[in-house]
Structure 1
Amino acid sequence: MRVYLPATLPALARVATAKEFGPAPLTGYAVTPALIEWYASGDTEELEYVALTDAARASLRMLAADRADGVEVAARRVVIAAEVPDEAVAVGADLAERSRVRLARAVALEEIAAVHVDEQSAAADVEAAVAALPAADAGDDDARFTVDGAEAHELLWYATQEIPDLVG
C-alpha cells in the first residue's frame, strides 16, 4: 500500500542517518475505503493526491510543533511516500480524516519510494500558514484561507537518492 507520511526536513535528515523513518507508531495517509467511498468519482491518481495533500497539511502541524519546541526548521512541507505491506497499515474509522492510517512499525529506507518537498519559493506562504494554524483551528475563515494558501504550491518530487542533497 502506498502511504504518505508527513515529515519535516530535520525528520528527513534523521532518515538519511538512520536509514528508516520512525519511531513507531507513525501516522500516515493513504487511499482508504472511507476515502474511496467519500470521493467515489475519483480515480486512483486523484485519490492518492488527496492523501498526499492530507499528509502535507499534517506536515504544517509538525512544523508548528517543532517551532513550539524551539527547533529551527525551514518553512517547507515534507511528505515521504512509502510502499508498505497492507498488513503493516491500520485503517481507522475517523471520517474527519478519511485517509488517515497508522503504522505500528518504522518504515525502512528501502520502502521509501519518493520524497515530496516544497520548493524554496513556497516558504513565505508556508510560514504564513504555520502562523495561522491556531486561528484557523479556532474557526477564523481568514486564517483558514491563509493555511489553504500553502496548498496552492505543488510539492516537488525527489528520488530517495536525493535525500542527502535535500538535507545537506
Structure 2
Amino acid sequence: MRVYLPCTLPTLASAVGAGGLGPAPLIGYAVTPALTEWYASGDTEELEYVALTEAARASLRLLAAERADGVEGAARRVVIAAEVPDGSVITAPGIEERATVRLVEAIALTKVAAVHIDDPGAIPDIEAAIDALPASDQGDDDARFAVDGAEAHELMWYATQEIPDLLSS
C-alpha cells in the first residue's frame, strides 16, 4: 500500500541518519475505504493526490510545531511516499480526515518510494500559512485564506537517491 507521511526537512534528515521513520505508531495518509466512498468518482491517481494533499496539510502543522519548539529549518512542506505492507496499516478511527491511517511498524528507508517537497519559491506562502494557523483554527477567514494559499503550491517529486541533495540545499 502506498502511504504518504507528513514530514519536515529536519525530520527527514533524522530519518536518513536513523535509516528509517519511527518509532511506530506513525500517522500517514492513504487511499482508504472512507476516502474511496467519499470520492467515488475519483480514480486511483486522484485518490492518491487527495491523500498526498492531506499529508501536506499535516506537514504544515509539523512545521508550525517545530517552530514553536525553536527548531530551525526552511519553511517547506515535505511528504514521504512509502510502500508498506497492508498488514502494517490500520485506519485511524475518530480522526476527521478520510485518508488518515496509523502505521503499526516503523518504516525503513528502503520502503521509501519518493519524497515530495515545496519548491523554494513557495517559502513565503508557507511562512504566511504557518503564522496564520492559530488564527485559522479560531475561525478567522483571512487567516484561513493564508493557510489555504499554501495548497496553491504543488509539491515537487524527488527520487530517493536525490534525498541527500535535498538535505544539503
Query: TM-score under structure 2 normalisation?
Result: 0.97
Match of 2:77 in 1: 77
1:2-57 deviation digits (Å, cap 9, x = unpaired)? 00000000011112211101222110000000000001111100000000000000
- Segments of 5+ residues of structure 2 without an aligned counterpart are none
Structure 1 vs Structure 2: percent identity of aligned residues? 72
1:24 match: secondary structure: coil
Match of 1:140 in 2: 140
Q: CA deviation at 1:105?
A: 1.6
Q: CA deviation at 1:93?
A: 3.3
Q: CA deviation at 1:95?
A: 6.2
* Whole-angstrom CA distance in 1 between matches of 2:36 and 2:95: 12
1:51-91 deviation digits (Å, cap 9, x = unpaired)? 00000000000000001001112100000000000000011
* Whole-angstrom CA distance in 2 between matches of 1:12 and 1:123: 18
User: In the alignment, is residue 131 of structure 1 matched against residue 122 of structure 2?
Assistant: no
Aligned residues: 168
CA RMSD of aligned residues (A): 0.9
Query: TM-score under structure 1 normalisation?
Result: 0.97
2:10 match: secondary structure: helix
Match of 2:55 in 1: 55
Match of 2:27 in 1: 27
**What pairs with 1:150-165 in structure 2 (closer than 5 Å)?**
150-165=150-165
Q: CA deviation at 1:120?
A: 0.3
**What pairs with 1:101-140 in structure 2 (closer than 5 Å)?**
101-140=101-140
1:126 match: secondary structure: helix
